[in-house]
Amino acid sequence: DSIKIKAIDEVKISRYIIKQTMEDWMNFVENDVVIVGAGPAGMSAAYYLAKHGLKTLVFERRLSFGGGIGGGAMLFHKLVIESPADEVLKEMNIRLEKVEDGVYIVDSAEFMAKLAASAIDAGAKIIHGVTVDDVIFRENPLRVAGVAVEWTATQMAGLHVDPVFISAKAVVDATGHDAEVVAVASRKIPELGIVIPGERSAYSEMAEKLTVEQTGVVAPGLYVAGMSVTEVRGLPRMGPIFGSMVLSGKKVAEDIIKDLRN
């Protein structure tokens, strides 16, 4: 018996793809939360926000998940996780190897794949190949109310194309070291009074603790999580230990859930 492959022509293939994509975009013009960046912090945040039932959209510039997870440390494909972040990873069925009390090693490929799968299964929407290059703001009360997005490919080509705007009750900068979203808000909405001191050199144990503690709101409607916290709050970097990234994502989700309830 030969395998019976369903016959479908190119016109139908195109129609289905275009229709379903546009339906998604129509739906995701308005959101509870927009997260910028699908690194460890952004995806952890997406997991907890979506699990709570909030409409959560993640924009990721690249065509992949994981941000800084993929390369491991200097391309060594293992990363360090410390307690209590191990509990979050266990919840996502990510395997950990214990090397001492409260210290675990995680495989980078498994970490990024399962983090993404967990966020998606919880109900978060992740759209690849889109760069956030600005925010929307409102006065009375002064707040960030969404983002401006452009195809990453359009930006790379240097084409002069206007963005589209996507609204959100909360925007999370989870863009990593450069804190791109907070940086643009600081520069283009001076009345928010955001001053960015910049990241400091490595001091891992201090950085892990402070990054989680100082995760949260930067201006009304604008939140920061992950490595962006070190840039925005002037904290040291920590290198290839990832507990704080996951816990920062979890904390920003908890803060937003609380704020949106009020």
Query: Does the footprint of ligand 48F cover residue 186 (CB under 6 A)?
Result: no
- 131 vs 186, which CB is nearer to ligand 48F? 131
- Near ligand 48F by CB under 6 A: residue from 28, 47, 59, 223: 59
Tokens of 253: 């989700």
| Chain centroid to CA 19 | 26
Stretch that binds ligand 48F, among 15-23, 91-99, 112-120, 170-178 (CB under 6 A): 170-178
Cβ 156 to ligand 48F shortest distance, Å: 13
Query: Does the footprint of ligand 48F cover residue 180 (CB under 6 A)?
Result: yes
DSSP states along 98-128: EEETTEEEEEHHHHHHHHHHHHHHHT-EEEE
The residue among 49, 47, 48 whose CA lies nearest residue 118 is 47
Query: 125 vs 26, 56, 84, 117, 251, CA distance in Å?
Result: 13, 6, 27, 11, 20
- 219 vs 232, which CB is nearer to ligand 48F? 232
- CB-based contact 65:47 (threshold 8 Å): no
Stretch that binds ligand 48F, among 63-71, 90-98, 162-170, 187-195 (CB under 6 A): 63-71
- 119 vs 132, which CB is nearer to ligand 48F? 132
Stretch that binds ligand 48F, among 86-94, 116-124, 188-196, 220-228 (CB under 6 A): 220-228
Query: Does the footprint of ligand 48F cover residue 221 (CB under 6 A)?
Result: no
**Total residues at interface with ligand 48F (CB under 6 A):** 27
- Near ligand 48F by CB under 6 A: residue from 92, 227, 232, 252: 227
Query: Does the footprint of ligand 48F cover residue 46 (CB under 6 A)?
Result: no
Query: Does the footprint of ligand 48F cover residue 238 (CB under 6 A)?
Result: yes
Torsion of CA 175, 177, 182, 185, to 10 degrees: -100
Which residues fall within 8 angstroms of residue 105, CB to CB, at 6 or more apart? Answer: 78, 79, 80, 81, 96, 97, 99
Query: Does the footprint of ligand 48F cover residue 62 (CB under 6 A)?
Result: yes
Query: Does the footprint of ligand 48F cover residue 176 (CB under 6 A)?
Result: yes
C-alpha span between 216 and 258 (Å, rounded) = 11
